[in-house]
Amino acid sequence: MTKKTRLGKTDIYVNPIGLGTNAVGGHNIFPNLDDETGKEIVRTALDHGINFLDTAFYYGPERSEEIIGEVVKEFGRRDEVVIATKGAHKFVDGKVVLDNSPDFLRESVEGSLKRLKTDYIDLYYIHFPDETTPKDEAVGELKKLKDEGKIRAIGVSNFSLEQLKEANKDGYVDVIQSEYNLFKRQAEKDLLPYTAENGISFIPYFPLASGLLSGKYSKDAKFNDSRAQNPLFQGEAFARNLEKVEQLRPIAEAKNAEIAHVVLAWYLTVDSIDAIIPGAKKPEQVLDNLKTLDVQLTKEEIEKISRIFQ
């Protein structure tokens, strides 16, 4: 039985290993996705005790939510599943525009409820900040939806520290999702101290830095997707980054684990990080992510990993 962890100050308890589902129905994000495989990924997660599913209107768009709605309905035990989804994107004349206005957020929540085939969403995030809406007004609308029982917890995603403070003016923000990994540690300087102080749960995305922290790449690896433009994957920086990752191999081998498991386990030792949501493109990867829970890091190992990636 997996020990469940509480998300911040909410009454929501999750397996610390969740499932990020941008590769489930996210046809606008990844080429050649197969929806049947997507369903199998979600089924595998639910059947093996992963109860925290993270999706968004933008993944698909809409398709990821639809697939999760189908599989959770088929699973039958809605109360055992924690569904997180996000909204802020809308299409105007074929272009994607961000909107955090109260009216649009309410409309977005209603749309997500239909696609997810449920009458409540456990955690609803504002996916990206827009340029104009006061953040406390946006969150105020989510608080009304929470009082109406349509959502259980309020999240924001991709907010700067200033935007988070404005959003949390009345203390309503429960969770923030932001980019954080061993190569990108800016959050330790700004967001994480604030979340720790305010009982807000921090969910990192890109925890494996697009696979760079998995320990599976060699120096001659070539990339023809978004990684080709990512500075972490270019030239000398790429070679130096791989050397850092290799320094984790002895720790992983001593624990009979993979480097990715060690990295994911390290995040769970960070104050405010209650859960992580690695993605998967195949059902086997879901099971592999769960092996993270078998990795116990000592205080010395935690400090050593931090030093390697200083």
Give the range among 22-31, 45-54, 79-88 with minimum mean pLDDT: 22-31
Out of 13, 58, 59, 180, which one is annotated catalytic?
59
* CATH 3.20.20.100 applies to domain 5-211+269-297: yes
- Map the chain to HEC letters: CCCCEECCCCCCEECCECEECCCCCCCCCCCCCCHHHHHHHHHHHHHCCCCEEECCCCCCCCHHHHHHHHHHHHHCCHHHCEEEEEECEEEECCEEEECCCHHHHHHHHHHHHHHCCCCCEEEEEECCCCCCCCHHHHHHHHHHHHHCCCEEEEEEECCCHHHHHHHCCCCCCCEEEEECECCECHHHCCHHHHHHHHCCEEEEECCCHHHHHHCCCCCCCCCCCHHHHCHHHCHHHHHHHHHHHHCCHHHHHHCCCCHHHHHHHHHCCCCCCCCECCECCCHHHHHHHHHHHHCCCCHHHHHHHHHHCC
Q: How far apart are CA 201 and CA 247, in angstroms?
A: 29
CA angle 176, 178, 179 (to 5 degrees): 165
Mean pLDDT of all residues belonging to the chain: 96
What pLDDT is stored for residue 222 in this prediction? 87
Does residue 14 or residue 229 have the better pLDDT?
Answer: 14
Average pLDDT for 77-95: 96
Q: How far apart are CA 29 and CA 12, in angstroms?
A: 29
pLDDT at residue 131 tops 60: yes
* This prediction's pTM: 0.96
Number of other residues whose CB lies within 10 A of the CB of residue 69: 19
Confidence of residue 226 (pLDDT cuts 50, 70, 90): confident
Q: Going by C-beta distance under 8 Å and a sequence separation of 6 or more, which residues neighbour residue 54?
A: 18, 19, 20, 21, 84, 85, 177, 203, 277
Average pLDDT for 96-107: 98
What pLDDT is stored for residue 227 in this prediction? 85
pLDDT at residue 162 tops 60: yes
What pLDDT is stored for residue 1 in this prediction? 57
Q: Do the beta carbons of residue 227 and residue 221 sit within 8 Å?
A: no
What pLDDT is stored for residue 76 in this prediction? 97
Average pLDDT for 203-215: 94
Calculate the alpha carbon distances from 256 to 62, 246, 295 in Å: 39, 15, 9
Half-sphere exposure of 170 (CA within 13 A, CB side): 13
- Is 59 known to be catalytic? yes
Question: So where are the chain's domains?
Answer: 5-211+269-297
Average pLDDT for 253-272: 97
